[in-house]
Amino acid sequence: MSARARVGRVVVVLTLYAAALTVVAWRQSTTRETMEEIGRLSRALAVAADEREELARDLVGLEQRSWVVAEAARRLGLRPPREEEVVFTPGGSQ
């Protein structure tokens, strides 16, 4: 084997080695970016879940009769009927 052929092989091997290292570095950087994005999305999802739970608690409070009656009185001037104002009509529900 001639010296020129040996040098050619060394150049090819070093080129392949450099290419392999470049691919590994690229994969690691894209993996790191992907993991950071997953972390950001995970935190955003946790915040959204907390907000959803808070809204669900608020909704339960807003559905309570005491709140509805108070808001109807405040906003619309409504009140529950007194006993003498309740009139039952014959026939019931159909």
Q: Where are the domains of the chain?
A: 3-77
pLDDT digit string (tens) for the chain, length 94 residues: 788 888 889 999 999 999 999 999 999 999 999 999 999 999 999 999 999 999 999 999 999 999 999 999 999 999 999 998 888 888 766 5
Q: Provide the whole-model pTM.
A: 0.54
Residue 4 token pair: 């020129």
Sign (positive/negative) of CA torsion 16, 19, 21, 27? negative
Measured CA distances, 65 to 4, 68, 80 (Å): 93, 5, 11
pLDDT of residue 2: 85
pLDDT of residue 70: 93
Write the DSSP symbol of residue 75. I
pLDDT of residue 93: 63
Half-sphere exposure of 11 (CA within 13 A, CB side): 6
